[in-house]
């Protein structure tokens, strides 16, 4: 056995039976022991699948996880089937196991002890209710060809990740603490794979992006160097829920165990099938999200104060890339029938949940928003595009802009802002794809539509010729940022426009559409409305 620094200390040579060509599977020596991976068959990289980074206490799977002990034997990193308990909204199935804290590492052939590569750590979205790290959803091929190592982390979601009971055993934010342990594992072990432990970029979508912003606000150590938040902000309306402190009692009762004792309820739920616990969560409509934790002796909190008005000192001198998709909530409203709009009380529901308004003031504020977006029209299919704008602005776009203001005040090194507007063959909301398609479902770039232009996804059609250009542009800008802290360190035929960072004087952004173009202050009129709204009502925020 030979050694190259901390890189592969041995090589296992296997043979393709069909071609009789050697396949070299890497074996690396990490701080937690030997890990054997696989050679990829769709690019010049190796993959290490399903590496455990933390353990969940089987007696309290709703509590904080602990670091994975060292492997006694070589760990065969071949299996990425672990899924945390969740409901798959696209199939209606419930599956998973709390013992799911694993990560995947994808390593280009160019990585070695003399050529350590930047690392990009992916945190998936899913409203803190679902998500997984698998390569079928987040295939690394498009990114690793740019000479970066990619890591994808599984973390607990739903009741197992975000139950918040104000007790030392279940203080809250367990899923975020899982992520932190995963990042610590990367920091400690990535050099064994040829990675640069001092060049770690966190990137994530939606709840993944929200999580990254919460990491910037947390009490935990900074173990990353750059951040990319795609449709992500800790101020997003999808994050802001007050926790149900009796969730465990309600879940136990729903599953047939009557008690008012916290320990008894948790002990019962710990022994219950996780599928039944998730099903009960759905039946009862309980929402689990990040929360403000109480402080307990001997328990390190992740967040122990409200983050709504908090600054972000951790971002000082840190490069930030953030942005949104042009019509974020299109997929929620665009193809709905008339009956859907008749029963929609979206504005007042948002106002009740997020703000402490008296009844008369609630009506006044709701009317103000409705008049701004719909004029004198009632909510119906006739104003669905205005509804999409309203929901997108309130839920994602204005929160992202408010977060950018925080980063500027905290003196982030540079903040790069984007709007993804491309319509192509891989956008989620398109039936048949393509800008020229006349299908009535062709609408706009909706939430998560940028993901198939960063990752190889098994459920997407092969990219069109122009999709290929957008894939190359997106992955080049994202990996440039991971390498240099600048998505366009120099212009080229592929990237003909220099992406200028945001300043307080000029909210410059990159429009990522069929072509690249620079703009200023996206959705300016709508953002100005919400600026005034929060100036008048920000002190009435609930959380």
304 with 344, same domain? no
For residue 221, being part of any structural domain is answered with yes
For residue 410, being part of any structural domain is answered with yes
Per-residue tokens: 60: 């309290």
Give the CATH number of the domain where residue 111 resides: 3.40.50.1820
Q: Does residue 50 contact residue 104 with C-beta atoms inside 8 Å? A: yes
Residue at a domain's end among 282, 310, 338? 310
Closest CA to 161 of 241, 74, 81, 278: 278
525 with 395, same domain? yes
213 with 301, same domain? yes
130 with 75, same domain? yes
304 with 327, same domain? no
Residue 434 confidence (pLDDT) above 70: no
Query: Which is the catalytic residue, given 8, 206, 366, 421?
Result: 206
Per-residue tokens: 423: 């319509």
Residue at a domain's end among 310, 338, 371? 310
Q: To which H or E segment does residue 409 belong?
A: helix 398-409
For residue 74, being part of any structural domain is answered with yes
For residue 2, being part of any structural domain is answered with no
390 with 473, same domain? yes
**From CA 450, how far away is CA 471, in angstroms rounded?**
9
Name the residue range of residue 409's domain: 323-540
111 with 192, same domain? yes
- How far, CA to CA in Å, does 408 sit from each of 299, 396, 417, 501? 32, 19, 12, 11
Closest CA to 173 of 53, 64, 51, 282: 64
Q: Does residue 174 contact residue 62 with C-beta atoms inside 8 Å? A: yes
Residue-level pLDDT at 12: 37
Across 431-456, average pLDDT: 68
- Confidence band of 3 (pLDDT split at 50, 70, 90): very low
24 or 110: which leads in pLDDT? 110
Residues in contact with 181: Cβ distance below 8 Å, sequence separation at least 6, in sequence order = 53, 54, 65, 67, 101
In DSSP terms, 419 is beta-bridged to 324, 511
Total domains present in the chain = 2
Q: To which H or E segment does residue 320 belong?
A: strand 320-325
Handedness of CA 487, 492, 498, 499 (dihedral sign): negative
In three-state secondary structure terms, 122 is strand
For residue 386, being part of any structural domain is answered with yes
Per-residue tokens: 162: 């975000």
Percentage of the chain modeled with pLDDT above 70: 93
Percentage of the chain modeled with pLDDT above 90: 87
- Confidence band of 439 (pLDDT split at 50, 70, 90): very low
Per-residue tokens: 410: 């905290």
Residue-level pLDDT at 184: 98
Residue-level pLDDT at 464: 94
Residue 268 confidence (pLDDT) above 60: yes
The DSSP code for 85 is S
Q: Does residue 65 contact residue 169 with C-beta atoms inside 8 Å? A: no
22 with 116, same domain? yes
291 with 354, same domain? no
**From CA 53, how far away is CA 278, in angstroms rounded?**
24
Residue-level pLDDT at 16: 34
In three-state secondary structure terms, 309 is coil
301 with 340, same domain? no
Residue at a domain's end among 276, 310, 344? 310
Using H for helix, E for strand and C for coil, what is the string for 225-236?
Answer: CEEEEECCCCCC
- Confidence band of 442 (pLDDT split at 50, 70, 90): low
Per-residue tokens: 226: 């750059």
For residue 1, being part of any structural domain is answered with no
**From CA 314, how far away is CA 147, in angstroms rounded?**
27
The pLDDT tens digits for 369-417 are 999 999 989 999 999 999 999 999 999 999 999 999 999 999 999 999 9
Residue-level pLDDT at 459: 85
**From CA 421, how far away is CA 446, in angstroms rounded?**
8
Phi and psi angles of residue 241, each rounded to the nearest 5 degrees, phi first: -130, 140
Kindly tell me the burial class for residue 46, based on how many C-beta atoms sit within 10 Å of its own C-beta (0-12, 13-18, 19 or more): buried
185 with 276, same domain? yes
- How far, CA to CA in Å, does 39 sit from each of 5, 213, 313, 527? 21, 34, 41, 48
Phi and psi angles of residue 289, each rounded to the nearest 5 degrees, phi first: -140, 175
**From CA 215, how far away is CA 225, in angstroms rounded?**
12
Residue-level pLDDT at 429: 56
Q: To which H or E segment does residue 483 belong?
A: helix 465-484
Kindly tell me the burial class for residue 49, based on how many C-beta atoms sit within 10 Å of its own C-beta (0-12, 13-18, 19 or more): buried
Residue 458 confidence (pLDDT) above 90: no
The pLDDT tens digits for 121-147 are 999 999 999 999 999 999 999 999 999
Residue 18 confidence (pLDDT) above 70: no
Active site includes 81?
Answer: no
- Confidence band of 219 (pLDDT split at 50, 70, 90): confident
What is the average pLDDT score of the chain? 92
For residue 27, being part of any structural domain is answered with yes
Q: Does residue 466 contact residue 514 with C-beta atoms inside 8 Å? A: yes
425 or 192: which leads in pLDDT? 192
Residue-level pLDDT at 24: 58
**From CA 157, how far away is CA 146, in angstroms rounded?**
31
Residue 156 confidence (pLDDT) above 70: yes
**From CA 536, how far away is CA 539, in angstroms rounded?**
8
- How far, CA to CA in Å, does 328 sit from each of 59, 232, 237, 333, 518? 40, 11, 13, 10, 20
282 with 354, same domain? no
For residue 108, being part of any structural domain is answered with yes
- Confidence band of 21 (pLDDT split at 50, 70, 90): very low
């Amino acid at each position: 056995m030979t050694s190259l620094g901390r890189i592969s200390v041995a090589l296992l040579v296997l043979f393709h039976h069909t071609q009789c060509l050697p396949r070299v599977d890497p074996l690396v020596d990490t701080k937690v022991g030997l890990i054997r991976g696989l050679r990829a068959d769709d690019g010049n990289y190796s993959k290490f699948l399903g590496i455990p980074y933390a353990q969940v206490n089987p007696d309290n799977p709703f509590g904080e996880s602990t670091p994975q002990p060292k492997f006694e034997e070589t760990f065969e990193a071949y299996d990425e089937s672990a899924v945390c308990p969740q409901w798959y909204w696209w199939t209606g199935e419930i599956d998973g196991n709390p013992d799911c804290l694993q990560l995947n590492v994808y390593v280009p052939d160019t990585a070695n002890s003399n050529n350590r590569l930047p690392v990009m750590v992916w945190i998936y979205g899913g409203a803190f209710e679902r998500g997984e790290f698998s390569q079928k959803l987040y295939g690394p091929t498009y990114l690793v060809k740019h000479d970066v190592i990619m890591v994808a982390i599984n973390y607990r979601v739903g009741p197992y990740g975000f139950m918040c009971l104000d007790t030392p055993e279940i203080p809250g934010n367990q899923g975020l603490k899982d992520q932190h342990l995963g990042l610590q594992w990367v920091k400690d072990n990535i050099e064994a794979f040829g990675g640069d432990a001092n060049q770690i970029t966190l990137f994530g979508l939606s709840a993944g992006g929200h999580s990254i912003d919460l990491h910037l606000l947390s009490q935990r150590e900074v173990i990353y160097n750059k951040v990319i938040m795609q449709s992500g902000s800790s101020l997003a309306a999808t994050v802001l829920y007050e926790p149900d402190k009796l969730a465990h009692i309600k879940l136990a009762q729903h599953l047939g165990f009557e008690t008012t004792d916290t320990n008894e309820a948790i002990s019962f739920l710990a022994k219950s099938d996780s599928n039944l616990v998730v099903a009960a969560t759905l039946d009862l409509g309980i929402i689990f999200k990040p929360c403000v934790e109480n402080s307990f002796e001997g328990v390190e909190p992740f967040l122990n104060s409200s983050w709504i008005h908090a600054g972000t000192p951790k971002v000082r001198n840190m490069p930030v890339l953030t942005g949104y998709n042009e019509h974020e909530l299109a997929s929620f409203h665009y193809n709905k029938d008339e009956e859907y709009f008749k029963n929609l009380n979206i504005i007042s529901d948002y106002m009740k949940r997020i703000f402490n308004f008296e009844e008369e003031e609630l009506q006044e504020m709701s009317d103000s928003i409705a008049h701004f977006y719909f004029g004198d029209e009632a909510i119906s299919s006739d104003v669905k595009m205005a509804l999409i704008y309203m929901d997108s602005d309130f839920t994602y776009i204005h929160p992202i802009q408010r977060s950018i203001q925080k980063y500027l005040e905290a003196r982030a090194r540079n903040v790069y802002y984007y709007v993804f507007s491309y319509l192509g063959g891989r956008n989620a909301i398109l039936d048949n794809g393509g800008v020229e398609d006349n299908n009535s479902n062709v609408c706009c770039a909706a939430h998560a539509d940028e993901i198939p232009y960063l990752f190889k996804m098994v459920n997407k059609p092969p990219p069109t010729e122009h999709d290929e250009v957008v894939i190359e542009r997106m992955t080049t800008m994202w990996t440039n940022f991971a390498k240099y802290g600048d998505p366009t360190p120099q212009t080229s035929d592929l990237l003909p426009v220099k992406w200028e960072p945001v300043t307080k004087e000029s909210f410059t952004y990159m429009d990522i559409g069929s072509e690249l173009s620079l703009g200023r202050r996206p959705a300016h009129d709508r953002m100005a409305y919400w600026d005034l709204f929060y100036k008048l009502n920000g002190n009435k925020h609930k959380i």
